[in-house]
Amino acid sequence: MDRRIFLGSALAGAVSATLSACGGGEEGVATSDLASSSRRTTTTTTATTTTAPATAKARVIVIGGGMGGATVAKYLRLWGDAIAVTLVERMPTYTSNIMSSMVLTGQRSLSSLSYSYDTLRTKYGITTVFGEVVAIDPVAAKVTLANGTVLTADRIVMAPGITFDTVPGLGTSDKMPHAWQAGPQTTLLANQLKAMSAGGVAVLSIPKTPYRCPPGPYERACLIADWLRVNKPRSKLIVLDANPGIVTEVDNFTSAFTGLHGNVIEYHANAEVTSVDPTSMSLFTTAGTIRGDVINLIPRQRAGTLIATAGLNNATEGRFAGVNVLSYASTVAGASKVHIIGDSSATTQPKAGHIANQEAKVCADAISRILSGGSPDPAPVTNSACFSTITMSQASWLTAVFQYNAAWLNPATGVTGPAMAPVAASSAASTGWNSDNFEEMGTWFRALMADSFA
């Protein structure tokens, strides 16, 4: 049996029930009809053990061990013909951003979101190197670490995630944590919320798009508002949105903001933070000065610093990396041996953990074909599913499918060209929210993380 058909048909059934109401999945799972069409749309894997090749036919270095990096490393070993894979990551464990807003409400711990690379090493034969990458040679496909070690390969896959714009006035203050990368700032913000007096004012800022989610800023706002209602009576949450209005799940979040959480949330559109004063806990915005007792300041985002260091930030005002979405190879001249996936790449797909997982599979498929003398699949398909916490026990969902179109007219930019175009007929969103969706969110999350790390 063809391995694509085997992986698709055998595994799609294991996760199809997770999003049966959605007909698909953004941050997580492929439906059976999508998964059966190509190996890259699967989101779970078999129990096959793949040891490191005794004699490598090709070598790939993966930089970054998040959702995209871990997945591409795993599937290069599963699908590649004797490809040796080295994963370079700064930290020995990965802490999931998905579900991390629930740490703020005490519903999850950071340790419950922690994943190691042990299975990638022992089950899939991936070499892990924990260290800091300081330089990349895109032409020679060389990677230099902070300790002076130089690694060479036939291809490099970069998945360094995001970094943040500097906010004037913030400096090194920790009084306004973004908590947008799960870790110490998540704990800090949780403690600040717990310490806030009843009747206090919390503020959450939403940056201009594109930004990475989950956590999504609108779902975080709903979750915090519900927690404040229960734990901090008479408190208010001011939401400052730098965008002209709510940019996702407009019906659900508008209803939640104005109805369910209308007594807690005060929403302001076109309110971009221009500078801050941590001493007085003030935000200076295009909509005026806002003060709060607790401030969740989420700055505007760009590709991980290493993308700019390597000169690969050639898209979206120099914020992200332009890629050929058939293989995720860089579009910078001379850098075709470097592939960029996940939040750092500039595509028409969301910057989300499940899309990083999907992009990783398209990339792994393409690289394995290229290194075997072939060409990338000419018609990749990805799907994206997202659950949003509207309360501490209820959730909504959103799903979308993207298909390669060599001459797609992007309505947002007016530009025609190759892109992963959204398939309108395959996109949907829940009408409202409920507890069943909340339970399905947990099942979906476990399936996604198992696919990426186990």
Which two three-digit tokens encode residue 257?
Answer: 């903001």
User: Mapping DSSP to helix (H, G, I), strand (E, B) and coil, where does residue 96 land?
Assistant: coil
pLDDT of 55 over the 90 cut? no
Specify the higher pLDDT residue, 350 or 40.
Answer: 350
Do 154 and 221 fall into the same domain? no
Beta bridge partners of 284: 275, 289
In the numeric block, which tokens belong to residue 181? Answer: 């990368």
Q: How many CA atoms lie within 13 A of 49 on its CB side?
A: 6
Of 9-13, 201-205, 373-377, 435-439, the one with minimum mean pLDDT is 9-13
Residues 334 and 281 in one domain: no
> How many domains does the chain contain in total?
2
Binned at pLDDT 50, 70 and 90, residue 392 comes out as very high
pLDDT digits (tens, 9 = 90+) for 210-250: 999 999 999 999 999 999 999 999 999 999 999 999 999 99
Q: Does residue 78 carry a pLDDT above 90?
A: yes
Structural domain harbouring 316: 3-163+302-453
Q: For the residues 181-199, what does the mean pLDDT come to?
A: 98
For residues 255 and 174, state if they share a domain.
yes
In 3-state terms the chain splits into helix, strand, coil percentages (rounded to 5) of 30, 30, 45
Judged by DSSP in three states, 263 sits in coil
Residue 11 has pLDDT above 80, yes or no: no
- Please give the single-letter amino acid code of residue 86: T
- Per-residue model confidence as pLDDT tens digits over 331-352: 999 999 999 999 999 999 999 9
CATH of the domain at 125: 3.50.50.60
Same domain for 146 and 182, yes or no, is no
- From 299, 329, 350, the end of a domain falls on 299
**pLDDT value of position 257:** 98
Domain final residue, candidates 254, 283, 299: 299
Q: Pick from 288, 297, 291, 284: which is nearest to 175 by CA?
A: 297
pLDDT > 90 fraction of the chain, expressed in percent and rounded: 86
Is the pLDDT reported for residue 34 higher than 50?
A: no
Are residues 10 and 155 both part of a single domain?
Answer: yes
Query: Which one, of 353, 324, 421, 427, lies nearest residue 381 by Cα?
Result: 421
- 224 and 197, same domain (yes or no): yes
> Average pLDDT in the 318-343 region?
98
Query: For 52-77, what is the mean pLDDT?
Result: 94
Same domain, 194 and 293: yes
Please give the radius of gyration of the chain, using alpha carbons only, rounded to the nearest integer: 21
Instruction: Map residue 1 onto helix, strand or coil.
Output: coil
Whether residue 206 is predicted with pLDDT greater than 90 in this model: the reply is: yes
Residue 445 has pLDDT above 60, yes or no: yes
Does 389 share its domain with 425?
A: yes
Where is pLDDT greater, at 16 or 239?
A: 239
Instruction: Give the integer Cα–Cα distance in Å for 189 and 103.
Output: 9
Domain final position from 244, 273, 299: 299
What is the mean pLDDT of the segment spanning 256-268?
98
For residue 59, pLDDT over 70 is answered with yes
Helix (H) or strand (E) holding 116: strand 114-116
Query: Are 407 and 439 within one domain?
Result: yes
Question: 17-31, 36-50, 139-153, 314-328: lowest mean pLDDT where?
Answer: 17-31
pLDDT of residue 156: 98
Judge if 72 and 37 occupy the same domain: yes
Per-residue pLDDT averaged across 151-180, rounded? 98
- pLDDT tier at 308 (50, 70, 90 boundaries)? very high
Is residue 10 exposed (0-12), middle (13-18) or buried (19+ Cβ within 10 Å)? Answer: middle
Mean pLDDT of the chain: 90
Provide the sign of the torsion angle of the four alpha carbons 313, 319, 323, 328, taken in this order: positive
Confidence (pTM): 0.90
Q: Are both 10 and 150 inside the same structural domain? A: yes
Q: What's residue 48's pLDDT?
A: 59
Task: Please report, in angstroms and rounded to a whole number, the separation of the first and last CA atoms in the chain.
Answer: 24
pLDDT digits (tens, 9 = 90+) for 417-438: 999 999 999 999 999 999 999 9
Q: Which residue has the tokens 């999907």?
A: 358
Same domain, 257 and 374: no
Per-residue pLDDT tens digits for 356-384: 999 999 999 999 999 999 999 999 999 99
Residue 372 has a CB neighbour count (10 Å cut-off) of 14
Query: What DSSP letter does each residue of 34-53 carry, written as one string?
Result: HHTT-GGG-----S---PPP
Give the whole-angstrom CA distance, residue 309 versus residue 137.
Answer: 10
Instruction: Give yes or no for residue 21 having a pLDDT over 90.
Output: no
Query: Cα-Cα-Cα-Cα dihedral of 131, 215, 109, 390, to 10°?
Result: -170
More confident residue, 302 or 18: 302
Q: Cβ contacts of residue 414 below 8 Å, gap of 6+?
A: none
pLDDT at 286 over 90: yes
**Nearest by Cα to 64 from 289, 338, 433:** 338
Return the beta strands (E) in 170-293 as ranges: 201-206, 236-241, 265-268, 273-277, 282-285, 288-291
pLDDT score at 112 = 98
